[in-house]
Structure 1
Amino acid sequence: TLWEEVWRAGPDGVTLVEARIQGSGAGMEAPPEARLVDGFWRWRPQLPAQREIAMRRSGATADWQICIAGRCRPMGDYLPPEADPVILSACP
């Protein structure tokens, strides 16, 4: 089941703009305010800007996809497989 998130960097940190999921699974249920659009349940989580985001890479699941300006590539194209955790933050 695909779970996608859109994050934007800004002066206050990194803000979660939208979350979307194709279906439900253990711990992956869309909240009541989610709306089904183009096959994804979409919603805007109410989360303040974060100074940094920690992304774990266990190897037990597919690697993260990082999309920049509409081009998506696996995190392994940027970092070696043993890079864990990966910390994302806005550039000063």
Structure 2
Amino acid sequence: MLRDGQAVTAARAEVPATLLALPTDRFHALMAEHETVARFYNRSRGPRPRRSDLATSRVETLIAVKPITCKPDTSAQDAARKLHE
């Protein structure tokens, strides 16, 4: 119902039924007023990930120009201090 006027699902009544049609503005008002109505009719996949999300970032943007390294016997405290510098 929310995909540019195109139905995303189909329904068929097996017994006589009464169908109700809401004016578009009233339908959108109901969605704005009631979260449960909006959640039921809004079947979108949600917002697209932002470009700055770690999962969608390219590897080269995550690698420092000059990597910081330390010896295997470096304490965690000394490694953290070196990273902070």
Q: TM class, shorter-chain normalised?
A: under 0.3
More strand by share: 1
More helix by share: 2
Higher relative contact order (CA 8 A, sep 6+): 1
Q: Tell me which structure has the larger Cα radius of gyration.
A: 2
